């Protein structure tokens, strides 16, 4: 019951394509979220909410030349390396990504890299999500209720959005 109330509150305060001041957020809400999914998409490691899966599929079909990286507790952490030379789309758990980010001495990522955080809304991960939002290098952060998004976007002012991308 509480989750439904939180979801209704989210729908009331979240912005769609109109009401965002960021070209990137507008692009996500307009171009990506409104496109019709083509075919099927199955991530390697996760059991995700169907709305998250649809968004991942839409985003990966909207962006050319992006490398998809997935990691969770069951995947090998050695496969998870963010590159500063190529844009990447990383799908990761909140605590795992925060731990990875804090272990990096000087983390550098490509400006067009997008990190999708899968479990940011769970009670145990709220503090980790808040810490990731406050990271200086991530200028764009968005809470999309079922998932969170982070991206460096260095030309943009640091902002956090509540985006309705469903």
140: pLDDT confidence band, cut at 50, 70 and 90?
Answer: very high
The CA angle 133-15-135, to the nearest 5 degrees, is: 10
Percent of the chain exceeding pLDDT 90 equals 5
More confident residue, 105 or 141: 141
Q: What is the mean pLDDT of the chain?
A: 79
Q: What is the pLDDT of residue 153?
A: 87
Residue of 90, 48, 84 whose CA lies nearest to 68: 90
pLDDT band at 150; cut points 50, 70, 90: very high
Q: What is the pLDDT of residue 2?
A: 77
User: How far, CA to CA in Å, does 39 sit from each of 36, 51, 159?
Assistant: 10, 15, 33
Q: Residue 90: its pLDDT value, please?
A: 82
Tell me, what's the pLDDT at 76? Answer: 47
What digits encode the pLDDT tens for the residues 19-40? 777 888 888 888 887 787 666 6
Structural domain boundaries, residue 33: 2-162
pTM of the model: 0.83
Is a pLDDT exceeding 50 seen at residue 65?
A: yes
Cα→Cα distances 58→1, 36, 55, 101, 107, Å: 30, 8, 5, 26, 28
User: What pLDDT is recorded for position 37?
Assistant: 66
Name the domain count of the chain.
1
Q: What is the pLDDT of residues 80-136, one digit of tens each?
A: 567 777 788 888 877 778 777 777 756 778 888 898 888 887 877 888 888 889 988
Instruction: Say how far apart CA 130 and CA 118 lie, in whole Å.
Output: 14
Give residue 141's pLDDT. Answer: 92
């Amino acid at each position: 019951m509480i989750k439904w109330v939180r979801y209704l509150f989210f729908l009331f305060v979240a912005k769609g394509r109109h009401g965002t001041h960021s070209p990137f957020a507008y692009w996500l809400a307009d171009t990506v979220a409104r496109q019709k999914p083509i075919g099927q998409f199955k991530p390697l490691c996760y059991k995700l909410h169907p709305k998250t899966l649809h968004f991942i599929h839409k985003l990966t079909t909207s962006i050319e030349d992006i490398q998809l990286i997935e990691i969770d507790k069951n995947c090998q952490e050695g496969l998870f390396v963010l590159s500063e030379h190529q844009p990447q789309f990383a799908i990761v758990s909140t605590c795992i990504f925060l731990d990875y980010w804090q272990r990096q001495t000087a983390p550098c990522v490509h400006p067009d890299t997008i990190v999708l955080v899968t479990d940011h809304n769970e009670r145990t991960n709220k503090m980790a999500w808040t810490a990731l939002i406050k990271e200086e290098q991530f200028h764009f952060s968005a809470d999309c209720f079922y998932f969170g998004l982070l991206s460096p976007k260095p030309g943009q002012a640091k902002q956090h959005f509540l985006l309705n991308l469903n």
